[in-house]
Amino acid sequence: MQLFTIVLGLILLVFGRKLFWLFVALVGFLLGMEFTGVILGDQPKWVMLFIGLGTGLIGALLAVLVERLAFALAGFYAGAYLALIGAQSFGVGGNIILLFALSGLIGAVFAALIMDWVIIVLSCLVGAGAVVVSLGLAQMVSLLVFLVLAAAGTFFQAKVMARSRES
């Protein structure tokens, strides 16, 4: 499962904006898996996979049918996912549902307002987060790898976006 998550993270780092519907589907899947693990931790793996696939499918369908709403949903998914993995990585307790909802709402608002750059940044943050969580590195090393991956992905996607706008 770790290799699968690393591959998903790398796809998001490189193709997050270009394949927007895939970004929404992948981050929805990752969010569904994380949320299920945090809230329903004692459930079998198939339940986690089912919920992950369901949230991913909903996101992908919305991305194809209703783009503006899908941007907001992608922002919600990404904000909530980043909050969950951040809380787990740094041992933050408290009201996880409130953190999940608030972070998701912030991501949704930003994604709906400034779509291209938010999708690039969020896809890179989520991709880097997925890779780092799967690698299981020490906290400081994880932070460094996270920052390097997020920066490299953002730089790459920005270059691709600039080239496509020139054409």
For 85-123, the pLDDT digits (tens) are 888 777 776 777 888 888 889 988 887 777 788 888 888
Could you give the CA distance from residue 104 to residue 122 in angstroms, rounded to a whole number? Answer: 12
Task: Give me the number of domains the chain comprises.
Answer: 1
For 44-77, the pLDDT digits (tens) are 888 888 888 888 888 788 777 777 777 788 888 8
Range of the domain at 60: 2-166
Could you give the CA distance from residue 75 to residue 24 in angstroms, rounded to a whole number? Answer: 9
Residue showing tokens 């750059």: 117
- The CA-CA-CA angle for residues 136, 41, 78, to 5°, reads 60
